[in-house]
Structure 1
Amino acid sequence: MTATTFFEISGPDAGRLRAFYRGALGLPVGDPDPSGYALVPPDGGIGGAIWDGTATAGSYAVFYVQVDDVDAAVDRVTAGGGAVVLAPRPHGPARIAHVSDPAGNRVGLFQWTGQPPG
């Protein structure tokens, strides 16, 4: 399966980001879990999350493409002229990576490795 199914927004002041996206754009951002990860339900679109991931991946707003195999997708990205921004790694019940396209735009890749939420 390949589909755009999730987005994620990261920055050093996740509380301010949550307030911004709630107030300015009306996103139904939930309260953060103990790790600081606040889910945004799909509500007719794709779901996502807001958190402070700056320690591992920096500040970003990225959409995720669900793939069957993150490592194989990363290989295809680099063969196609893209680059690895964040190497494949575990992330909750998923395995993720961030890559860039040939223009330098960041894109997230993920595959379920555990039980998907919900």
Structure 2
Amino acid sequence: MDNTVTWFEVATDDPEGAQRFYGGLFGWTFGASPAGPIDYRTIGYPGREQPGGGFYNTKGEFPAHAIFHVEVADVEQKCRETESLGGKVVTKVIDDGAGTDFAYLQDGSGNLFGVFHRR
């Protein structure tokens, strides 16, 4: 299913900016953080009823990190959208010879993630 991954985590000191970026790129939705000292917001995405991941607000106490791969319909389109939303294309491989196109991208906080499409 396009724009879908299994559980993952994005750690950032800018959760609102990360929500704008990933919501704009993949149509993801976000739940409120439960009451308590930890700001951890659930992430939902098309085709899945239960949350599939979460944003952890590091509050600057830990380095930003994320790594996951998202299956998409068009890798090149997602590369263009990434740049238009303030991200960066790190590595783009179209046609790896085994039937998969993929790219490594970065969001506006510098978090690395991947997108791929199996033909």
TM-score bracket, normalised by the shorter chain, equals 0.3 to 0.5
Q: TM-score, normalised by structure 1?
A: 0.45
Q: TM-score, normalised by structure 2?
A: 0.45
